[in-house]
Structure 1
Amino acid sequence: MVKYHTNDYGSINTVIDTFSTDMFDSLTFVVRPVVGGIGYLRHMHQAYQFQRSIERISNLDYEQRDRILDILSDMVVNRIDDEEFAKELEQKISELDEMQDIFKELNYQKSNIEKSQMQHVFRISLRRFNGRIVSIRDEINSKMWDSVEDIPQLLVLDQVFFLIQETVKALLDEPIDKTSNPKLNKLTYSLLYIEAFHRGKVTFEDFQDFLSDLTLFNYKEGRSLKNNEAVFETLAV
């Protein structure tokens, strides 16, 4: 894999470094929503089925989490987020030493949960995911007041996270079918693309193109962006 120099993108990299744990947790919330909905499952006396696997995820150290994000972020380079991407991601996860047994068990155990309960779990997990994004955007916005930061870079990153939030809002407004929902695929792909840029696997120009694609995706899915004109301005930075 060709690595690009990212020394010139310190404003973005500092934010992602600061929230590396949140990025990993957010990925698990999307790929395995039962992780984010464990509190509800505990209330419904269903948590015992998932507790051991979720504890194993929580016990992964920084190096293990970083390795997982590094391997998975390779997958978004020079490809789109179609159904084949979702299938290949599941295959790649099944090959990871740290995750294969955990994710396989979580996927199996969810079959014992009623569909209505799983819908609720999905929504709880998405709201928790959105909460992580709110924290990241708050950090980005606070940095924009600092004269030493690169404001155009931060605007691009903020718009990416804003559009991710718009995708989450769209998902919360509809029945969620994880097996074939392009919005869920887009969320996973987006998180990994941010990591790919952070790790120097794609250029800043690629990242801006990704922002453009994410903007078009939200328009096609019917999300209104009229109050966020900056999204268009940042495309030409």
Structure 2
Amino acid sequence: MRSDVRHQLKTDRFAEATTETVHWAAEHRSRLILYGSLALAVIVLAITFIAVRRSQEQQASVALANAFETYQAPVVPAGTPAQPGLQMFFSSKDRAKAANEAFGKVADKYSTQSGKTARYMQGITAGEMGDVANAEKELKDVIGSGGDLGNLARYALASVYRQNNREQDAIALYNEIGAKPSRSVGKPMADLELASLYSAKQPDKAKVILQQLAKDNKDDAIGQLAAEKLAAIK
């Protein structure tokens, strides 16, 4: 077949294909517009969501910082004159109560990372107030969110349990951390607490844990601390 004929055939086929595509697009124009609009709407919504989340996190982080200022405010003797622009409290319990309320407002308003941190601190301050029920409630809520903050909440709740003679509940939480350690609380840290808990009533269990810790971490501070605690039990 001559080259000019082949070229003409290719040109004709291209023209036919182009014509068919144009006809299809014309027939489905409204659908194409709809799909294009939907795709654009999805993109706009995604961008808006990201912007809103960023804005919310910025607002939440400022609110969280303000709550931490309350938490870190000085405790002064009764009768100390007030100072403009300076928060102060006459007891640690009063400070914990005020901070608890501040953290609670942040946690209730924001579902961002700062909001979750505020929920964790709400549990911590409830424990400092002696409100075991609310400390347990808030810290369990944070545990449910998982991750590093979840393990911190487990660790804190275990301390609350130990302070209230709920040793088996504390043991369960330390074992949970050991099974799924995180950057915030690793297995060695949980095992040290387990050994400390066992040392008074079940020293043999404490020794086993400490011996393993000393062996596995002999070149760092955890191993040295485990060896010291082991020597104290002996």
TM-score (ref. length: structure 2): 0.28
The structure having more radius of gyration, on CA atoms, is 2
Higher RCO (CA-CA < 8 Å; seq separation 6+): 1
Quick check: which one's helix share is greater?
A: 2
TM-score (ref. length: structure 1): 0.28
